[in-house]
């Protein structure tokens, strides 16, 4: 959309124009990144998580403790489904502590630290003592 500022202010003899792109303001507002908390109480709760992830601008912080205490098989099934969707979207998924999972779209990266590998001899010595 082109808006003639000079004519608006009563100066019609000038050829200077200011271009205002109204569509870009709406797109910028829609493309905000949201960090959303979710609680996984049953397998059905993953639908909200997956739809938010498919949106492409949501980082999901998922509390799995309620389902973990209730049904481990359903928890594994739920986490597997979330992981498959995140992988299809080229995102990242990681666990934080025992009860939190973070899932991100492809533009965000989760920094994962690797635990040092134990020497196999150290493991056997632990059993001997």
Domain extents for the chain? 1-31, 33-111
What is the CATH code for 33-111? 3.30.110.150
**H/E run at residue 85:** helix 72-88
Greater confidence (82 vs 123) lies with 82
Give yes or no for a contact between 105 and 91, defined as CB atoms under 8 angstroms apart.
yes
Is 50 exceeded by the pLDDT of residue 126? no
Greater confidence (124 vs 97) lies with 97
Cβ-Cβ contacts under 8 Å for 70 (sequence gap 6 or more): 41, 42
Residue with tokens 């098989």: 73
Backbone φ and ψ for 3, nearest 5 degrees, come out as -125, 125
Whether the pTM exceeds 0.85: the reply is: no
**H/E run at residue 35:** strand 34-39
């Amino acid at each position: 959309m082109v808006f003639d500022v000079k004519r608006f202010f009563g100066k019609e003899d000038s050829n200077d124009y200011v271009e205002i792109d109204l569509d870009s303001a709406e797109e910028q507002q829609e493309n905000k990144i949201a960090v959303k908390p979710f609680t996984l109480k049953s397998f059905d709760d993953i639908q909200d998580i997956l739809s938010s992830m498919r949106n492409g601008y949501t980082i999901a912080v998922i509390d799995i403790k309620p389902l973990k205490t209730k049904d481990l098989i359903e928890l594994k099934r739920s986490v597997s489904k979330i992981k498959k969707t995140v992988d299809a979207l080229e995102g990242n998924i990681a666990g934080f502590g025992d009860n939190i999972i973070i899932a991100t779209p492809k533009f965000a990266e989760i920094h994962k630290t690797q635990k040092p590998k134990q020497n196999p001899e150290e493991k056997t010595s632990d059993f001997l003592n």
